[in-house]
Amino acid sequence: MYRLTGIGYALHSRMKRGMKSSLIACLIATATVCALAYLYCHDPAEEGFYPQCLFHSLTGLWCPGCGLTRGLYACLHGDYLAAVRMNSLLFVAVPVLAVCACASRRIDVLKAIDNLLLTSCLLFWILRNLTCWPFMLLAPL
């Protein structure tokens, strides 16, 4: 039986890892497209299938994700103003997450992006729950 050693083994294992990561990326992309297709066909404001936000149900406060599903639905149908009104963080987080997914594996860059996204989410979470004028516009409809 032929056995890989040295450089041949390293290339073979690297190819296996590359194929595995490509398969995972393909599965994630397929699941995302299927989920968006389902969301496009089923309005979250009318359908009872979508889960309610547990944090909002328990506290009455808005979490950073409240309104995200309805915002994505509006965005998929081209109503960007309604999407911003539902969850304005959508237009910040989605491009940042896309850059993270496509970015090189440089740890310092990814840590900086993670810190920026986490800080933005926390700040958005606090501001959308304030009841004074400009900040109350951040709460979903």
- State the virtual CA torsion across 13, 15, 20, 22 in degrees, nearest 10: 160
* Tens-binned pLDDT, residue by residue, of the chain (141 aa): 556 555 555 545 555 666 777 788 788 889 989 999 999 999 998 877 788 889 999 999 999 888 888 999 999 999 999 998 888 888 877 777 777 767 666 666 677 777 888 888 899 899 989 888 888 888 887
CB neighbour list of residue 97: distance below 8 Å, 6 or more residues apart: 117
Torsion over CA: 85, 91, 97, 102 (sign): positive
| Rounded CA separation 10/133 (Å) | 61
Residues in the chain: 141
